[in-house]
Amino acid sequence: MSLPSRDPILLTPGPLTTSLATRTAMLRDWGSWDASFNAVTASVRKRLGEIVDARDTHVCVPLQGSGTFSVEAAVNTLVPKDGHLLVLVNGAYGKRMQKLAQMMGRRTSVFETAEDVPTTAADVDGLLARDPSITHVGLIHCETSTGIENPLAAIAATVAKHRRALIVDAMSSFGALPIDAQAMPFDALIAASGKCIEGPPGMGFVFVERDVLERAAGRSTSLAMDLHDQWVYMEKTTQWRFTPPTHVVVAFDAALAQFVAEGGQPARLARYRANCTALIDGLAGIGLESFLAPAIQAPIIVTVHAPPDPRFTFKEFYARVRDKGFILYPGKLTAVETFRVGCIGAIGPDEMRQAVHAMGDALDEMGVRARAPARTVAARAVGGAR
248, 203 in Cβ contact below 8 A?
yes
Considering the domain architecture, whether residues 83 and 199 belong to the same structural domain is answered as yes
What range defines the domain where residue 274 resides? 9-15+264-385
Q: What percent of the chain has pLDDT over 90?
A: 92
**pLDDT tens digit sequence for 214-246:** 999 999 999 999 999 999 999 999 999 999 999
Q: What is the pLDDT of residue 335?
A: 78
CATH number at residue 315: 3.90.1150.10
Coil/strand/helix, residue 272? helix
Q: What is the pLDDT of residue 377?
A: 40
Residue 126, CB-side half-sphere exposure with 13 Å CA sphere: 6
Considering the domain architecture, whether residues 78 and 178 belong to the same structural domain is answered as yes
Coil/strand/helix, residue 154? helix
Considering the domain architecture, whether residues 252 and 282 belong to the same structural domain is answered as no
**pLDDT tens digit sequence for 7-19:** 899 999 889 999 9
12-32 average pLDDT score:
95
89, 114 in Cβ contact below 8 A?
no
116, 297 in Cβ contact below 8 A?
no
Q: Is residue 43 part of a domain?
A: yes
Q: Count other Cβ atoms within 10 Å, centred on residue 255.
A: 27
Confidence class for position 383, pLDDT limits 50, 70, 90: very low
Considering the domain architecture, whether residues 91 and 126 belong to the same structural domain is answered as yes
206, 188 in Cβ contact below 8 A?
yes
- Among 219, 235, 261, residue at a domain's last position: 261
Q: What is the pLDDT of residue 374?
A: 66
Q: Is residue 4 part of a domain?
A: no
Q: Is residue 185 part of a domain?
A: yes
Considering the domain architecture, whether residues 245 and 222 belong to the same structural domain is answered as yes
- Four-point Cα dihedral 347, 353, 355, 357, nearest 10: -160
Task: Report the C-alpha gap between 207 and 132 in whole angstroms.
Answer: 26
Task: Report the C-alpha gap between 221 and 236 in whole angstroms.
Answer: 22
Task: Report the C-alpha gap between 106 and 76 in whole angstroms.
Answer: 8
Considering the domain architecture, whether residues 212 and 228 belong to the same structural domain is answered as yes
Q: How many domains does the chain have?
A: 2
Q: Hey, which residues does 108 pair with through a beta bridge?
A: 85
Q: What is the pLDDT of residue 55?
A: 86
Q: What is the pLDDT of residue 376?
A: 54
Q: Is residue 161 part of a domain?
A: yes
Task: Report the C-alpha gap between 220 and 226 in whole angstroms.
Answer: 5
> What DSSP string describes 186-237?
-SEEEEETTSTT---SSEEEEEEEHHHHHHTTT--S-STT-HHHHHHHHHHH
Task: Report the C-alpha gap between 111 and 137 in whole angstroms.
Answer: 10
220, 226 in Cβ contact below 8 A?
yes
**pLDDT tens digit sequence for 96-130:** 999 999 999 999 999 999 999 999 999 999 999 99
**Sequence-ordered list of residues with C-beta below 8 angstroms from that of 308, at least 6 positions apart, any chain:** 370, 371, 372, 373, 374
Q: Hey, which residues does 88 pair with through a beta bridge?
A: 111
Q: Count other Cβ atoms within 10 Å, centred on residue 132.
A: 10
Nearest CA to 144 out of 278, 292, 317, 271 is that of 292
Q: Is residue 236 part of a domain?
A: yes
113, 62 in Cβ contact below 8 A?
no
**pLDDT tens digit sequence for 130-186:** 999 999 999 999 999 999 999 999 999 999 999 999 999 999 999 999 999 999 999
CATH number at residue 245: 3.40.640.10
181-195 average pLDDT score:
97
Considering the domain architecture, whether residues 153 and 214 belong to the same structural domain is answered as yes
Considering the domain architecture, whether residues 347 and 202 belong to the same structural domain is answered as no
Q: What letter would DSSP give residue 313? A: -
AA letter at 109? S
Task: Report the C-alpha gap between 355 and 283 in whole angstroms.
Answer: 10
- Among 241, 261, 281, residue at a domain's last position: 261
**pLDDT tens digit sequence for 253-286:** 999 999 999 999 999 999 999 999 999 999 999 9
Q: Is residue 2 part of a domain?
A: no
State the alpha helices, DSSP H only, in 263-313.
264-285
Is the sign of the CA dihedral 51, 188, 138, 74 positive or negative? positive
Q: Is residue 3 part of a domain?
A: no
Q: Is residue 173 part of a domain?
A: yes
Pairing outcome for strands 84-89 and 136-140: parallel
Considering the domain architecture, whether residues 243 and 294 belong to the same structural domain is answered as no
State the alpha helices, DSSP H only, in the chain.
20-24, 35-51, 67-78, 92-103, 121-130, 152-161, 210-215, 227-237, 246-262, 264-285, 314-323, 349-366, 374-385
Considering the domain architecture, whether residues 298 and 350 belong to the same structural domain is answered as yes
**pLDDT tens digit sequence for 53-90:** 998 899 999 999 999 999 999 999 999 999 999 999 99
- Among 240, 261, 282, residue at a domain's last position: 261
Considering the domain architecture, whether residues 193 and 45 belong to the same structural domain is answered as yes
Considering the domain architecture, whether residues 120 and 155 belong to the same structural domain is answered as yes
pLDDT exceeds 80 at position 247:
yes
